[in-house]
Amino acid sequence: MVNVSDVKNGLRRNGRRIQQRYFAGDDRPILAYSVVLGGYTALVGLVGVIGRARGVQLPARFSVQDTVLLGLATHKASRLIAKESVTSPLRAPFTNYEGPTGAAEVNESARGHGIQHSIGELITCPFCLGVWIATALTAGLVFAPKVTRLANTTLTAIAVSDLTQLLYDGAKQKDTD
């Protein structure tokens, strides 16, 4: 019979050895990264299992319009979660405030150790967060396409509005120079 405690201890030892070799002494939370990666994999797997159980059919392909909306919505949602001032309460348990960094955005750094630090890195990085958001929005297009298209259209409109605001401010600044 397999002793669960022995397996856990063996995995921890192996993880520490890999971490020491890979990071050459740097204190990086590789085991916590593994937990976050495992969480992502489990969620994607769960969505697949639910879809199969419900008999959901994958589309043969997504339209160009859906793909463009998905890309722009992913960009806006990832920046909204990772950088916007108003979403800082969501990040606060995992980050330290560093200061403002542009139009309604803040710069934060991950704090703590282990899982707290790895979640802090994930939720302050729009590039990292984009993978999770694109996956969720893509699943939404399969499970609830009307609602997801509405959300994608809204997020895309906000992204276009943001760009327009920045272009307008830039044009005003050129007029005063």
3-state secondary structure of 151: helix
User: In 24-144, where does DSSP find H-type helix?
Assistant: 30-54, 64-83, 88-91, 114-123, 126-143
- 23 band by pLDDT with thresholds 50, 70 and 90: low
* Domain-wise residue ranges, the chain: 4-176
pLDDT > 60? residue 28 = yes
Question: Which residues are CB-neighbours of 68 under 8 A, at least 6 positions away?
Answer: 156
* Model confidence pTM above 0.75: yes
Over range 59-66, report the average pLDDT: 93
Tell me the pLDDT of the chain averaged across its residues: 91
Taking the C-alpha atoms of residue 160 and residue 164, their distance in angstroms, rounded to an integer, is 6
User: Could you give the CA distance from residue 72 to residue 154 in angstroms, rounded to a whole number?
Assistant: 10
For 32-44, what is each residue's pLDDT tens digit? 898 999 999 999 9
Q: Which two tokens stand for residue 13?
A: 């030892």
d(CA 131, CA 54): 25
Cβ 16 vs Cβ 22: under 8 Å: no
Answer for the pair 156, 73: CB distance below 8 angstroms, yes or no.
Answer: yes
Could you tell me which residue, 68 or 176, shows the higher pLDDT? 68
pLDDT digit string, tens, across residues 100-121: 998 889 999 999 999 999 999 9
Task: Find tokens 């990666």 and name the residue.
Answer: 37
- Alpha helices, DSSP H only, in 93-125? 114-123
pLDDT in tens, 82-95: 999 999 999 999 99
- The Cα 144–Cα 15 span in angstroms is 39
Question: For residue 25, is pLDDT > 70?
Answer: no
* Distance from C-alpha of 160 to C-alpha of 136, rounded to nearest angstrom: 21
Neighbours of 145 (CB within 10 A): 14
